[in-house]
Copies of this chain bind each other. A is one copy, B any other.
């Protein structure tokens, strides 16, 4: 397997090498984030701080920092721009938390429960605007082009996800279009910014963008697999959120296509009609196992992971490339 073969060691892959490499820059990114989410309207830093603090790994800004490092960039601009990437990510998280009347009726609780829909939307708008203010201060129209384009594609992907939600007729192609837009686009943009600030040729920018895009797809495929996996519980997250939301992810697309009429009726009842009984999640997991849907999803994730690694081929071997290779391996290995 390509991904395993490129692993720098026999140990469990982790983000540690990446964090060691860009840790100092990342501290400056975090300081920049706190500085720029300030507002005289106290609820803004309060709510944004809650999300930024809970945001976790800072994977996307670390990709910007590492991509700049891989391109021998020795300036300072990547710090602010990595903060922009995280602001855009945080804004989409906040807007993703918004719930509909129909969701409320199903009793779904989300992170916006404390402050409400409206505050989540408006603070997301603030962070999004701040990201553009930071980019304007940086002064690169090319970076502005990359991130305004990414933002538009992300919004399109989120709307497409909303449209395909609860639709068991969703195809694998349509699913891939959703995750390429809503998730992978920001990974790709985060990576492209590195060579752009370093003034490197378009081929290198394209290569790092392809790395980010394929990594992002692999990342989301694993995420969507994990939602039905016992491993998710080990990671301290709830299992079955997507199922309860009626999200049509690849495991479902595959199990639905491979299922008989009775199984298709089950998926339609639970995901389209949102009529769910207490035992339905366990039954769904059994059907996914029966059809090898989680393994097949992981197989796709490995393919995109391998493409991500291939995209880095033009870059010289060394600690940065090894750390990025290990990010790919880490994203896959989260599954196990």
Contact = CB atoms under 8 A, between A and B. Distances in A.
Contact of A145 (B40, B95, B136): B136
A41 B152 CA distance: 12
When all copies of this chain in the complex are counted, the total is 2
Contacts of A155: 122-123, 125-126, 129
Interface string A109-137: 00000001111011101101110110110
A276 interface: no
Nearest to A178: B41
A148 B121 contact: no
Contacts of A160: 41
A156 to B, nearest CB: 5
Interface string A36-52: 00011111100000000
Interface stretch (A63-71, A98-106, A233-241): A98-106
Interface string A136-157: 1001010011001101101110
A98 B126 contact: no
Contacts of A282: none
A159 interface: yes
Contact of A121 (B41, B42, B95, B149): B95
Given A98-B117, A102-B116, A144-B144, A151 B139 contact: no
Given A41-B156, A155-B125, A101 B104 contact: yes
Contacts of A144: 132, 135-136, 144
Given A39-B156, A98-B117, A116-B100, A136 B122 contact: no
19 contacts: A39-B156, A41-B156, A41-B160, A42-B163, A43-B159, A95-B125, A100-B117, A117-B117, A119-B159, A119-B162, A125-B128, A125-B155, A126-B156, A126-B159, A128-B151, A129-B155, A133-B149, A136-B141, A144-B144
